[in-house]
Amino acid sequence: MKNESICPRTKFCPVFKRKIISEATGKEYRKDYCLVETNFPSCKRYQSFLASGLKTPRYILPDSSLPVEEIVEEAKKFAAHNTQAAS
């Protein structure tokens, strides 16, 4: 049974997996966003994925001050660049 109280994107999230931030900072983000059912919907990484279906740029943190629309535009640029690079 899937745990509905944590963010469904944890499997893919570099913040949750501590790949882009320190252990201490990652622990705080996980506590404040990833592992709290009422908080993960406010995560900018989660919101931008829901809005676009695209991978969120690695530099975006859960509490980013960027609007979701701008993050989605960055995700589109990244996706387009990776598509061209793979060709």
CA angle, residues 26, 51, 54, in degrees to nearest 5: 70
Give pLDDT tens digits for 12-28.
999 998 888 899 999 99
In a domain, 35, yes or no: yes
In a domain, 18, yes or no: no
| Residues 23, 28, 29, 31, CA torsion sign | positive
In a domain, 47, yes or no: yes
Give pLDDT tens digits for 68-84.
999 999 999 989 987 76
Per-residue pLDDT at 20:
87
**Considering the chain, what percentage of its residues have pLDDT values greater than 70?**
91
Domain count, the chain: 1
Q: What is the pTM of this model?
A: 0.85
The alpha carbons of the chain give a radius of gyration, in whole angstroms, of 13
What is the domain range of residue 38?
Answer: 23-86
